[in-house]
């Protein structure tokens, strides 16, 4: 009989492209991953991978096994979740991936309320790219996802979660002598701290600036940083201005470390959605979470959390 653990190791190796990366993802050693793959190959009496230095490539037999391995893993995980909930107690794991960093500030408040109702539920909140989020939603690895772009894939269903603003922030000191409102062309005269090229926020800002004939590449970019908290710190230290989520900068605004500078006729609002895959059976835990998210009290709490961010706005 096929070993489910060996199949999980095999499938992770197909997704990462190397035994080393698979070991890291599964919290195993690389020799242990190699041993599991070898045991699976010996059992099936076929070679599943061609070794190419540090990377591996699937053989034809390996390619044929991938969809079956994924289906077996999904069915096994689904069966475990359903049986754990069969006795009426809500317990198990829930994974909510997000490609929107600012969403975590809202999610942690909601999850605290959810876990008071269902203390036996363990929740994981991985922060990933939009592409990885969609892949893990459709493969059933994630129960839900949070994204700020409605996906056109028929498998993915989206429900409105909350709205957020993207604002231009500056330090409160004398580093930048900017008024409360500036013209879009004035952005070209200021230094900037930007998010990386794959950031959804950067894409949104880039699209908005094009309406004024400005390309992001024309800005005086002093630094590019992947961490949003590091960007906030860089702005506070006077390295440059930055466009950021209002929810993320709300604490710094409330403390007086940053202020908002309006850009005339530039209004950026992002619509964040809760997504799920319609082709996967929703577990009892997932059904409870979805019902919780749709409850009027939860919706009111979300509005309170997101609208409250505006109270910390500091202008020039």
pLDDT tens digits for 106-116?
Answer: 999 999 999 99
- Tokens, residue 146: 């949070």
Q: For residue 278, what pLDDT band results from cuts at 50, 70 and 90?
A: confident
C-beta neighbour count of 107 within 10 angstroms:
21
Q: In CATH, what class is 163-268?
A: alpha beta
313 pLDDT higher than 60:
no
For 92-162+270-312, CATH gives: 3.40.190.10
What is the structure's pLDDT at 222? 92
What is the structure's pLDDT at 311? 54
What is the structure's pLDDT at 141? 86
pTM of the predicted model as reported, rounded to 2 decimal places? 0.64
- The angle at the Cα of 312, spanning 206 to 230, to the nearest 5 degrees, equals 50
What is the structure's pLDDT at 110? 93
| CA 123 to centroid of chain Cα atoms | 14
CA distances (Å), 46 to each of 64, 167, 257, 271, in order?
11, 57, 62, 49
Of 188-197, 278-287, 288-297, the range with the lowest mean pLDDT is: 278-287
- The angle at the Cα of 139, spanning 62 to 279, to the nearest 5 degrees, equals 125
Out of 1.10.10.10, 1.10.760.10, 3.30.465.10, 3.90.1170.50, the CATH code matching 4-84 is 1.10.10.10
Q: What is the 3-state secondary structure (H, E, C) of the chain?
A: CCCHHHHHHHHHHHHHCCHHHHHHHHCCCHHHHHHHHHHHHHHHCCCCEEEECCEEEECHHHHHHHHHHHHHHHHHHHHHHHHHCCCCCCCEEEEEEECCCCHHHHHHHHHHHHHHHCCCEEEECCECCHHHHHHHHHCCCCCEEEECCCCCCCCEEEEEEEEEEEEEEEECCCCCCCCCEECHHHHHHCEEEEECCCCHHHHHHHHHHHCCCCCHHHCEEEEEECCHHHHHHHHHCCCCEEEEEHHHHHHHHHCCCEEECEECCCCCEEEEEEEEECCCCCCHHHHHHHHHHHCHHHHHHHHHHHHHHHHHCCEC
Listed by start position, the domains of the chain span: 4-84, 92-162+270-312, 163-268
101 pLDDT higher than 70:
yes
| Overall size of the chain counted in residues | 316
Closest to 6 in 3D by CA, of 73, 95, 80, 63: 73
Q: For residue 168, what pLDDT band results from cuts at 50, 70 and 90?
A: very high
Q: In CATH terms, are 4-84 and 163-268 the same topology?
A: no
d(CA 250, CA 45): 59
Q: Which residues contact 161 (CB under 8 A, 6 or more apart)?
A: 103, 106, 146, 272, 273, 274, 302
Q: Given the DSSP bridges, would you call strands 242-245 and 258-260 parallel, antiparallel or unpaired?
A: unpaired
**230-258 residue pLDDT tens:** 999 999 998 999 999 898 888 888 888 89
């Amino acid at each position: 009989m096929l070993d489910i653990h060996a199949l999980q190791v095999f499938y992770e190796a197909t997704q990462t492209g190397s035994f080393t990366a698979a070991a890291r993802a599964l919290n195993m050693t690389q020799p242990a991953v190699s041993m599991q793959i070898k045991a699976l190959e010996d059992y099936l009496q076929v070679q599943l991978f061609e070794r190419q230095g540090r990377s591996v490539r699937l053989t034809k037999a390996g390619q044929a096994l991938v969809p079956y391995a994924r289906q077996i893993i999904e069915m096994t995980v689904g069966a475990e979740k359903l049986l754990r909930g069969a006795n009426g107690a809500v317990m198990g794991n829930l994974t909510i991936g997000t490609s929107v960093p600012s969403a975590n500030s809202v999610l942690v408040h909601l999850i605290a309320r959810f876990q008071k109702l269902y203390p036996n539920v363990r929740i994981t909140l991985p922060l990933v790219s939009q592409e990885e989020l969609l892949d893990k939603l459709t493969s059933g690895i994630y129960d839900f996802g949070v994204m700020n772009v409605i996906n056109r894939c028929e498998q993915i269903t989206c429900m409105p979660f909350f709205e957020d603003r993207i604002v231009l922030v500056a330090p409160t000191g004398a580093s930048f002598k900017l008024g409360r409102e500036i013209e879009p062309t004035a952005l070209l005269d200021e230094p900037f701290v930007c998010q990386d090229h794959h950031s959804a926020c950067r894409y949104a800002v880039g699209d908005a600036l094009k309406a004024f004939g400005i390309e992001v590449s024309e800005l005086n970019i002093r630094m590019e940083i992947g961490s949003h908290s590091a960007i906030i710190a860089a702005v506070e230290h006077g390295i440059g201005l930055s466009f950021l989520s209002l929810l993320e900068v709300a604490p710094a605004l409330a403390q007086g470390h940053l202020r908002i500078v309006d850009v005339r006729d530039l209004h950026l609002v992002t619509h964040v959605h809760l997504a799920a895959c319609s082709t996967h059976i929703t577990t009892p835990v997932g059904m409870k979470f979805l019902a919780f998210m749709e409850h009027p009290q939860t919706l009111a709490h979300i509005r309170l959390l997101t609208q409250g961010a505006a109270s910390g706005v500091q202008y020039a």
